[in-house]
Amino acid sequence: MRSVLAFVSLAACGSSPAAPDAAAHDDAPPGDAASDAPATGFGTLGGMCGVLAELQLTEATPELFRDTFTFAREFVDPDDRALLTTGGRRLLEVPNAGGSSQLSEAFAFEELARCEAAGLLKTETEIVYDTQGKITDLEVTMLGHKIGVSVTRAFAFPLGTPYTVEQATTLITRKLQDILVSTANVSAEDRWDKQVLAVLAYDSQAADIVDQVWQGLDASIRADTLVVVSVTEGADTFIYSN
């Protein structure tokens, strides 16, 4: 059985029951408190919410946080879009830069919107860069700050295969290095205060490996990026099968 994880720090928030329709909740505008964010939607968030406070969003210190995202059933797109936040729906409606990452990007945003009062500012193709190169998946606002968000998934195939240190090292190192490049290249109009690496992990074993690898990375690679690892539970294969 895939176990439930605890966060590293800060204020707690209980699991939220699934709502029949979360579409009535708009994404939080800049400056809104975490308590004003939509608490319900597709899937149940467990552990702790509201961990990304003003200090985390402004200080030059890397941190890693963990939570859980449990799904009672598979998400069916587009039938279930109405259960997402406004930003989550937009991420599924607007084409991204390619690949098969739309669902993972949407649910990484859902975690930030429902736990951290994040509002979607720009999608992947809307962010402007001065120099062509690595790009960030989305830009959000939290507590009045522009925050870049890069999204990735930690899992091995076939699903349930133990995730290895080697796999995590390659993935997390590359994603953190790409974050440094996109931050250097982003235009003044879209310049963010910090970036978040949102990791959707298939199980607690994968999340533990990501944590272990992150702890051992050189400070120059970790920089000041915040890492949020969300362990998915239940009927979550839709996150990893597209």
CA R_g for the chain: 16
What's the rounded mean pLDDT across residues 1-6? 38
List pLDDT tens digits, range 51-64.
Answer: 889 999 999 999 99
Tokens of 45: 């968030």
Q: Determine the pLDDT at residue 42.
A: 97
Structure letter (DSSP) for residue 82 = G
Tell me if 6 sits within 8 A of 204, measured CB to CB: no
Banded pLDDT at 30 (limits 50, 70, 90)? very low
Band (29; pLDDT cuts 50, 70, 90): very low
Name which of 104, 146, 86 is nearest 121 in CA terms: 146
User: DSSP code of 131?
Assistant: S
Supply φ then ψ for residue 91, to 5 degrees. Answer: -65, -25
Instruction: Read off the pLDDT of residues 82-102 as tens digits, 9 standing for 90 and up.
Output: 999 999 999 999 987 766 679
Percentage of the residues of the chain whose pLDDT score is greater than 90: 76
- The pLDDT > 70 percentage for the chain reads 82
Mean pLDDT estimate for the chain: 85
Quick: pLDDT tens for 103-159: 999 999 999 999 999 999 999 999 999 999 999 999 999 999 999 999 999 999 999
For the stretch 9-28, pLDDT in tens is 333 333 333 333 333 334 43
